[in-house]
Amino acid sequence: MEFESKAVPLFWTGGWDSTFRLCDLVLVEKRAVKPIYVLDPGRKSYKEEINAIVAIRAMIRERIKERADLLQPVDMVLKEDIPPNQEITDCYKVLLKKYKKLGVQYEWLARYLSWKELKGVELSIEANLCSPLSPIFSAIMEKLEGKEGCMELPDDLNEPLTTVFGFYRFALLRTTKHDMVRHAFRNSFYDIMIRTWFCHKPRNGKPCGTCNPCELVMKEGMGFRMPLQAKLRNGWKKLMVGKN
């Protein structure tokens, strides 16, 4: 297989989806990747995310000793250092009003990419196994162009959707987490995947079991990622909610 000379820019959080894409690109497709991590000190899990990134990076580099250049240094930036961009902020608010549910991170990630003049950065949004894609990502999927694995929004849409999400390529919108498990096993990087992080409110460096990402892990049938105490807290929370 020919090596790609140009690195694929990829937002990497140390989480399941972006780590899967990183491993697939570097270990399977033998393509160079430029990971990007935006550090949000207000996020309770940022230390665990960084620890996961450091550990996973070391594991991958151990496997590509002869081509260590495939995994390039992580570009890390503080969220507070990203300059304002009123156009992006206004368009984000329009999308939030229209689609009701849209993570605030998409506003400052777009500002970062505009600031750095980056385009074609991979955003690892996967096909949710338990429920349909959120309305905004369903709308994005309908408008995507390009071949599988590097689909992006067309430049000529001229609407808020493009202003906020036109910087990205989407490779995983039709891939579920269970697809990723099977692919990781087949290609011998599942041991890396289980080092990923997901919890927003860690307890002593372990998943809490009750935050939204922990709830989603259980709902998606990925409970094997959860330690026993977290599973017990998750079950207790469901029991208490059921009584109310």
Digit-coded pLDDT (tens) for 221-235: 888 888 898 898 888
Long-range contacts of 111-117 (CB under 8 A, 24+ apart): 111/82, 111/83, 111/84, 111/85, 112/38, 112/77, 112/82, 113/167, 114/85, 114/88, 114/167, 115/82, 115/83, 115/85
All residue ranges of the chain with pLDDT < 50 are: 1-4, 130
- Where would I find the H helices in the chain? 16-23, 46-63, 86-99, 105-116, 135-143, 160-165, 177-186, 190-193, 212-219, 228-243
Q: How far apart are CA 46 and CA 201, in angstroms?
A: 10
Q: What is the reported pLDDT for 96?
A: 96
Q: What ranges do the domains of the chain cover?
A: 4-197, 201-244
Q: What is the reported pLDDT for 242?
A: 63
Q: What is the reported pLDDT for 129?
A: 53
Q: What is the reported pLDDT for 155?
A: 83
CA distances from 153 to 112, 138, 150, 163, 237 (A): 18, 13, 10, 10, 40
Q: What is the reported pLDDT for 237?
A: 74
Q: What is the reported pLDDT for 164?
A: 97
CA distances from 45 to 37, 52, 103, 144, 163 (A): 13, 11, 16, 32, 29
Q: What is the reported pLDDT for 236?
A: 77
Q: What is the reported pLDDT for 2?
A: 39
Contact in structure between 195 and 209 (CB atoms under 8 Å): no
What CATH number does domain 4-197 carry, 1.10.12, 3.30.2000, 3.40.1350, 3.40.50?
Answer: 3.40.50
> Can you name the residues that pair with 214 across neighbouring β-strands?
none
